[in-house]
Each structure stands twice: as C-alpha cells, then as structure tokens.
Amino acid sequence: MKRYIALYVATLLTMIPLDMLFLRVLAKDYFNDQVGQLLTKNPNITAAILFYVLYVAGIVIFVSATAASWKTTVQYGAL
C-alpha cells in the first residue's frame, strides 16, 4: 500500500507541473486557435481536480504499478 501511495504522490508531483507547462506555454497558441471558442473564462475547478485525481490514478494503475522494479524495467525494457 505504501508503494502505491508513493507512486501516486510522485506521479502527481511530476504530471501536474508538466501538464501546466504544456497547457500554459507550449500549446497556448494551439489551444487558442483550435478550441478557443470552447474555452471558458471561469474554469470548473472541481472538474479539473477530479480529472487529475483520476488521470494520475490511471497512470499509477496501468503504468507505474505494473513495473516489477526499475532494475527489471531497465534490464528487459529494451527487448
């Protein structure tokens, strides 16, 4: 259980800053051009929090938790 909590926190602390960097800096013009008419002035914070909770849980369940260890991943990852 401690492993999953540690994976969740580490993933959350990694993904949120990366996603914010992507959305606010790298893809800002793209979003304004492509979906600007769909963007709202007042975003739904509850929906955003729920999204990130589920998004990070999905990463932990389907990606991080399936790796036996970093040594095994490095050893067999290139096969």
Q: What is the pLDDT of residues 28-57, one digit of tens each?
A: 888 788 887 887 888 899 998 999 999 999
Question: What letter represents residue 52's amino acid?
Answer: Y
Show Cβ contacts of residue 64 under 8 Å, excluding neighbours closer than 6 positions: 7, 11
Q: What is the pLDDT of residues 54-64, one digit of tens each?
A: 999 988 888 76
The whole-model pTM stands at: 0.66
Residue 79 CA to residue 47 CA, distance in Å, equals 40
CB 67 within 8 A of CB 74: no
Residue 13 CA to residue 44 CA, distance in Å, equals 21
**Could you give the C-alpha distances from 61 to 5, 76, 78, in angstroms and in order?**
11, 20, 22
